[in-house]
Amino acid sequence: MKGMIGKKVGMTQIFDEQGNVVPVTVIEAGPCYVTQVLSDDRDGYKAVQLGFGETKPARLTKGQLGHLQRNNLPALKYLREFRVKGDDAVDVEEGAEIKVDVFAAGELVDVIGTSKGRGFAGTIKRHNFSRGPKTHGQSDRERSPGSIGMCASPGRTYKGKRMGGRMGNDRVTIQNLEVAVIDVEKNLLAVKGSIPGANGGIVIIRPARKSQQH
């Protein structure tokens, strides 16, 4: 099991050995604590539950506090589960602390976050439709979706037809991001490229699922 919960700090740029500028996103990752180890026998599946984000004990319910106090952990705001694949052994113990050094620079990771909410968005923003002509006698056509179906046959609009609607605020995974820098002392991690969500958003970092590296 390898993974972390973190908070998106923001973007900046760094220089690589050749002097090229590399855009990176800084994540305040950890320290995370193993709050629970779920097993096949007791829970029906294998997973590790991690906690992140120390907070005042008064901010949590007694049930949450009791769950954490079983392993003498501080009050943690965010708990997330990381599945352990079929036969893999669980290599962590409850109560253990996990720091950014589980990852190494150059490694590929997936980052999961919640994208920024866009509210009710039209088809151009939401589905990359083209806009209509601005001139040549057109009126009210600039951002309209166009035809949404045929006439009396079938006499209805197909299900799943792409239209305007709520956009964003979704769980989004960005795959195969390269870890650019880790700073164990300050619990900081920087990945190459951008990650979903606003600054301050909670993200999950895990080894890249589809990478050839492992």
Partner 1 sequence: MRKASLVNELIQSLQASIPDRTPVEVGDTVRVYVRIIEGTRERVQPFQGVVIRARKGANNANFTVRRIATHGVGVERTFLVNSPRLEKVDILRRAKVRRAQLYYLRDRRGKSARLKERRRR
Which residues of this protein are in contact with partner 1, per CB under 8 A?
9-10, 12-15, 18-19, 21, 26, 28, 181, 183, 186, 188, 190, 199
Task: Determine contact, residues 203/126, Cβ cutoff 8 Å.
Answer: no
The nearest distance, CB 214 to partner 1, in angstroms, is 27
The nearest distance, CB 162 to partner 1, in angstroms, is 35
The nearest distance, CB 159 to partner 1, in angstroms, is 43
The nearest distance, CB 35 to partner 1, in angstroms, is 25
φ, ψ at 98 (rounded to 5°): -115, 125
Round to whole Å and give the CA distance between 49 and 79: 7
Round to whole Å and give the CA distance between 131 and 124: 7
Residue 6 or residue 51: which is nearer to partner 1 going by CB? 6
Peptide bond preceding 154 in cis form (omega within 30 of 0): yes
Residue 68 or residue 107: which is nearer to partner 1 going by CB? 107
Round to whole Å and give the CA distance between 29 and 9: 10
Which residues, at least 6 apart from 63, have a Cβ–Cβ distance to it below 8 Å? none
Q: How far is CA 137 from the centre of its chain?
A: 46
- Alpha-carbon separation of residue 147 from 57, 110, 125, 165 (angstroms): 56, 38, 17, 17
Residue 21 or residue 152: which is nearer to partner 1 going by CB? 21
Residue 28 or residue 81: which is nearer to partner 1 going by CB? 28
Residue 116 or residue 143: which is nearer to partner 1 going by CB? 116
The nearest distance, CB 179 to partner 1, in angstroms, is 13
